Amino acid sequence: MNSFLWHEIGTIEDIPARGARCVATPQGKIAVFRTADDRVFALEDKCPHRGGPLSQGIVHDGCVTCPLHNWVISLETGLAQGADEGATMSFPVRIEGGRILLGLEQPVEKAA
């Protein structure tokens, strides 16, 4: 179950610092974030609150604030911060020579 397929999705320069871009996948839209210090994270583009597009939020430190109702989500864990409770699915990311690789789990039917 823990085997990932790594997909090259572009370079770090493709994402604005303190910003995000989206990747369309069979598992839905995934938001790929780049922080001020050039760390890259991937989350399902869906806020645990009302499904807002996290990729459209403001990125600050290691978090993003959802544009719909200002929930703050940790980029690393996908967990809602502060008093809010909930989590967004997060995806593994690797950077190799400036290329960003996004890890998606193998489809269940193939792995079986």
Partner 1 sequence: MSEKLVIVGNGMAPGRMLEHLLEAAPGRYDITIFNAEPRVNYDRIMLSPVLSGEKSYEEIVIHGDGWYVANGITLYKGHRIVAIDRAAKTVTSDHGVTEAYDKLVIATGSVPFIIPVPGKDLPGVLTYRDLDDVNAMLLAAQSRQKAVVIGGGLLGLEAAAGLKERGMDVTVLHVMPTLMERQLDPAAGYLLQKTIESRGIKVITKANTKQIVGGGKVEGVELDDGTIIPATLVVMAVGIRPNVTLAKEAGLTVNRGIVTDDRMRTLDPDILALGECAEVGGNVYGLVAPLYQMALVAAAALAGSGDERFVHIDTPTKLKVTGIDLYSVGDFADGEDREEIVLRDATAGIYKRVVLKDDRVIGTVLFGETADGAWFADLQKKQTDVSDMRDTLIFGQAFQGGASADPLAAVAALADDAEICGCNGVCKGRIVDAIKEKGLTALDEVRAHTKASASCGTCTGLVEKLMQLSLGDSYNPAAIQPMCSCTELGHDEVRRLIKAKALKTIPAVMQELEWKTSCGCARCRPALNYYLVADWPDEYADDYQSRFVNERVHANIQKDGTYSVVPRMWGGVTSSKELRAIADVVDKFAIPTVKVTGGQRIDMLGIRKEDLPAVWADLGEAGFVSGHAYAKGLRTVKTCVGSDWCRFGTQDSTGLGIRIEKFMWGSWTPAKVKMAVSGCPRNCAEATCKDVGVICVDSGFEIHFAGAAGLDIKGTEVLGLVKTEDEALEVIVALTQMYREQARYLERIYKWAKRIGYDEIRRQVLDDVERRKAYHDRFVFSQKFAQVDPWSERVSGKDKHEFQPMAAIGYAEAAE
Please count the residues of this chain forming the interface with partner 1, following the rule CB under 8 A: 40
Interface with partner 1, residue 43, by CB under 8 A: no
> Using an 8 Å Cβ cutoff, are 3 and 105 in contact?
yes
| Least Cβ distance, residue 53 to partner 1 (angstroms) | 4
Sign (positive/negative) of CA torsion 81, 76, 106, 7?
positive
Binds partner 1 by CB under 8 A, chosen from 9, 43, 75, 80 = 9
| Site for partner 1, residues 10 to 39, rule: CB under 8 A | 10, 14-19, 21-26, 29, 32, 36-37
Q: How far is the CB of 18 from partner 1 (least distance, A)?
A: 4
Q: Are 28 and 20 in contact (CB under 8 A)?
A: no
- Cα–Cα distances (Å) from 90 to 87, 97, 112, in that order, read 9, 22, 23
How do beta strands 58-60 and 99-105 pair?
A: unpaired
Q: Which two tokens stand for residue 22?
A: 């989206």
The least CB distance from residue 72 to partner 1, in Å, is 7
Asked if 78 is part of the footprint of partner 1 (rule: CB under 8 A), the reply reads no
Closer residue to partner 1 in complex, CB, 19/87: 19
